[in-house]
């Protein structure tokens, strides 16, 4: 974080300062800001966030012992460290992030990109960060830090020398993206897609589209909206961008795209295509598996181009990315038995894309195996969407369909109903049962996809299988 006095921090968060030891209102703090006491070090700021399972106020002492010099709390704690008492610690975290980013922006050349979408946010964020870091100091989220805590924690990592801030915005509810994007007012607003992920929590896909459009509504004017024109709901956000005076750059495979991909080829070694920007044709070979990642790459190239990066440079840097993120189409195992661990998250769109990738990268003498768990947060559409994935797996001729957990049983029943029988489809109660089954079932030449929502935890099963067959 940039250097601020305790008085300045107190004013930013609207709290009541209680100094400790030799501190005064003019004591300067410039360390890490976080809600996790385990990340604290000398000069850091600990935000005591109440939680469903534990309360951050219990760890103020541990944070101070680790070097924290300030705690933002909702009530005073009997620990010898300066404290700012606020009504809401998470709101204070966001307010501090807003103040810090505003100061850096006012005093330098900071450019901010916001990314949202039902799928692909983290991959696109990583792609764009790889492109921009060669241009100057770039701050981007760790993992999927995209909520009311993770996004401000990332924002607070900017300093006077930061040139680019890449923010990833998830939506827990309507208004979430508006709030988070409003903290920084991105210069570039990237909307990837509107899908069924989390649609149950929003009341349907149209409400989800409205929530994603909040990013375009929060973008800084003048600024740019980078929109996926292959997605009709995202493309329709052009009207909102126009009404606000934003420039629009479209990406996709259609002829109207400003940043366009064609001749897409998927193999076990990666994904190749030709990228066309301003009439220039550039071959791109991603090491990341899956045709669906081409759209993420296009979004990153388009956003970087808006920020002044030559498309040829962007393409060259993307080709150095080995995996999108841990547990996202991550190759494990060996050439003998290849495990693709894509179980960090799952929606109907990402599940379908992963299954198609599995089918595309498997040779005629190899066998496809899909290990599938439940997709969460689909609301009333859950049953229908699990049916659809079961049917798709059979129609893609996936040779072994291994369904894990009671919540995914309907996927299994749909596969059986579509004609996957005689042990081609099995339903197992949990990860341990699945591991025991697969350790004897898998054989040389198998290509195995492990896919589920994060809450199901099949990513750990994928790791175990990767280690077993490495």
C-alpha 14/C-alpha 69 separation (Å) is: 19
Give the CA distances from residue 447 to residues 190, 233, 425, in Å, rounded to whole numbers and listed in that order.
34, 34, 16
Tell me the C-alpha distance between 465 and 449, whole Å: 11
User: CA–CA separation, 254 vs 273, rounded Å?
Assistant: 14
Confidence of residue 452 (pLDDT cuts 50, 70, 90): very high
Q: Is the pLDDT of residue 225 over 90?
A: yes
Which residues partner with 33 through β-bridges? 45
Q: Are strands 4-5 and 28-29 parallel, antiparallel or unpaired?
A: antiparallel
Q: CA 378 to CA 391: how far, in whole Å? A: 18
Residue 195 confidence (pLDDT):
82
Dist CA 9 CA 46 (whole Å): 13
Peptide bond before 222: cis, by omega within 30 degrees of 0? yes
pLDDT band per the 50, 70, 90 thresholds, residue 328? confident
Pairing of strands 138-139, 111-116: unpaired
Return d(Cα 107, Cα 101) in angstroms, integer: 10
Distance CA(202)–CA(440), nearest Å, equals 42
Question: What residues contact 159, with CB distance under 8 A and at least 6 apart?
Answer: 1, 2, 104, 137
pLDDT in tens, 65-109: 999 999 999 999 999 999 999 999 999 999 999 999 999 999 889
Residue 242: φ, ψ to 5°? -60, -40
The structure tokens 């299994």 sit at: 412
Mean pLDDT for 407-425 is 89
Q: Where are the alpha helices (DSSP H) in 224-323?
A: 232-235, 238-244, 292-306, 311-318
Picking from 421, 372, 415, 410, the residue whose alpha carbon sits closest to that of residue 394 is 415
- Per the CB < 8 A criterion, the answer to whether 104 and 157 are in contact is no
pLDDT digit string, tens, across residues 261-315: 999 999 988 999 999 999 999 999 999 999 999 999 999 999 999 999 999 999 9
The two tokens of residue 364 are: 């005629």
Mean pLDDT of the residues in the chain: 94
The pLDDT score that the predictor gives to residue 124 is: 96
Q: The tokens of 333 are what?
A: 């195992």
Rounded to the nearest 10 degrees, the angle between the axes of helix 382-395 and helix 409-417 is 40
Q: Decide the pairing of beta strands 45-47 and 33-34.
A: parallel
Q: Taking the chain, what is the end-to-end CA distance rounded to the nearest angstrom? A: 41
Class of domain 330-468: alpha beta
pLDDT of residue 54: 85
The CATH code of the domain at 4-89 is: 3.40.1390.10
CB 438 within 8 Å of CB 467 = no
Measured CA to CA, the distance from residue 358 to residue 373 in angstroms comes to: 16
Domain ranges of the chain: 4-89, 108-318, 330-468
CA dihedral of residues 170, 176, 182, 187 (deg, nearest 10): 30
Report d(CA 14, CA 148) in Å as an integer.
Answer: 18
- CATH of range 108-318; options 2.60.120.260, 3.60.21.10, 3.20.20.80, 3.40.1190.10: 3.40.1190.10
DSSP 386-427: HHHHHHHHHHTT-SEEEEESGGGHHHHHHHHHTT--TTSEEE
pLDDT tens, 358-389? Answer: 999 999 999 999 999 999 988 888 999 999 99
Q: Give me the pLDDT at residue 108, please.
A: 83
Residue 385 has a pLDDT of 94
- The CA-atom distances, in angstroms, between 43 and each of 4, 27, 64, 66, 91 are 12, 11, 9, 9, 22
Quick one: which of 320, 311, 262, 264 has its CA closest to 287?
Answer: 320
Can you give the pLDDT at residue 71? Answer: 98
pLDDT confidence band for 51 (50 / 70 / 90): confident
The Cα angle at residue 142 between residues 141 and 147, in degrees rounded to 5 = 60
Q: Phi then psi for 280, rounded to 5 degrees?
A: -90, 130
pLDDT tens, 175-208?
Answer: 999 999 999 999 999 999 998 655 555 668 898 9
């Amino acid at each position: 974080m940039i250097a601020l006095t305790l008085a300045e921090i107190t004013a930013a968060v609207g709290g009541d300062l209680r100094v400790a030891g030799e501190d005064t209102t003019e004591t300067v703090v410039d360390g890490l800001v976080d809600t996790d006491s385990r990340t604290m070090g000398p000069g850091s700021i600990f935000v005591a966030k109440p939680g469903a399972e534990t309360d951050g106020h219990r760890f103020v002492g541990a944070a101070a012992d680790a070097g924290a010099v300030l705690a933002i709390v909702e009530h005073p704690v009997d620990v010898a460290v300066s404290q700012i008492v606020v009504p809401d610690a998470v709101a204070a975290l966001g307010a501090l992030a807003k103040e810090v980013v505003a100061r850096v922006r006012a005093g330098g050349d900071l450019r901010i990109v916001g990314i949202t979408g039902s799928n692909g946010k983290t991959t696109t964020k990583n792609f764009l960060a790889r492109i921009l870091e060669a241009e100057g100091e770039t701050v981007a989220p760790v993992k999927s830090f995209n909520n009311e805590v993770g996004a401000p924690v990332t924002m607070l990592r900017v300093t006077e020398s930061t040139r680019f801030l890449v923010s990833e915005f998830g939506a827990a509810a309507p208004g979430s993206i508006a709030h988070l994007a409003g903290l920084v007012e991105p210069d570039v607003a990237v909307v990837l897609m509107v899908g069924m992920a989390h649609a149950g929590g929003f009341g349907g896909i149209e409400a989800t589209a409205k929530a994603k459009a909040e990013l375009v509504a929060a973008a800084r004017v003048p600024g740019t909206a980078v929109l996926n024109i292959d997605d009709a709901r995202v493309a329709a956000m052009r009207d909102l961008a126009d009404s606000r005076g934003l420039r629009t750059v479209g990406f996709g495979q259609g002829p109207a795209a400003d940043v366009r991909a064609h001749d897409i080829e998927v193999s076990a070694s990666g994904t190749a295509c030709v990228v066309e920007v301003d009439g220039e044709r550039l071959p791109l070979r991603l090491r990341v598996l899956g045709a669906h990642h081409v759209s993420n790459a296009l979004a990153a190239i388009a956003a970087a181009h808006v920020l002044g990066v030559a498309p040829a440079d962007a393409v060259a840097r993307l080709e150095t990315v080995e995996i999108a993120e841990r547990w996202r189409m991550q190759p494990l195992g060996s050439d003998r038995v290849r495990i693709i661990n894509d179980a960090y998250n799952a929606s109907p769109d990402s599940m379908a894309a992963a299954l198609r990738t599995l089918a595309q990268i498997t040779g005629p003498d190899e066998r496809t195996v899909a290990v599938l768990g439940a997709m969460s947060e689909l609301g009333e559409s859950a049953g229908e969407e699990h049916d659809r994935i079961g049917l798709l797996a059979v129609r893609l001729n996936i040779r072994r369909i291994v369904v894990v957990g009671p919540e995914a049983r309907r996927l299994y029943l749909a596969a059986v109903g579509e004609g996957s029988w005689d042990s081609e489809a099995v339903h197992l109660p949990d990860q341990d049962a699945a591991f025991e089954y697969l350790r004897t079932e898998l054989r040389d030449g198998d290509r195995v996809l492990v896919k589920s929502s994060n809450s199901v935890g099949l990513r750990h099963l994928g790791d175990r299988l990767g280690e077993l067959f490495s």
